[in-house]
Amino acid sequence: MEPLSSFFAVSVILLGIGIYGLTTKRNAIRILFSVELIYNAANLNLIAFARLRNPPIVTGQVLVLFTIALAAMEAAVGLSIIILVSRLNAEIDLSKLSKLKG
């Protein structure tokens, strides 16, 4: 049997990749990818931690269901914002979008 720590390891690596993407990328869609990866890292963590107890806690799985649904909504809204921005600016490079900057 695989120890739970290896699941945590995968989760941390996913988080690292996500943070790396968030910091280095400028493309809005790419940043959305990174955010989704971080979400998955969190989800994996929740599921794995739910198994720590014996018997496992169901709450972890319930929370993940909620998170997945929330992530889908976030993606829908985020993507529609991206479409709107691209239509207005012909540009989705976030570093070049400064219209809302004070």
Contact status: 88 vs another protein (CB under 8 A): no
**Within positions 2 to 31, which residues make up the interface with another protein, using CB under 8 A?**
2-10, 12-31
C-beta of 28: minimal distance to another protein in Å? 7
Classified as helix, coil or strand, 27 is strand
Q: How far is CA 25 from CA 44, 45, 56, 83, in A?
A: 24, 25, 38, 18
Contact status: 55 vs another protein (CB under 8 A): yes
C-beta of 63: minimal distance to another protein in Å? 9
For residue 21, count other CB atoms closer than 10 A to its CB. Answer: 19
Pair of tokens at residue 89: 């600016």
User: How many residues at the interface with another protein, by CB under 8 A?
Assistant: 80
Contact status: 71 vs another protein (CB under 8 A): yes
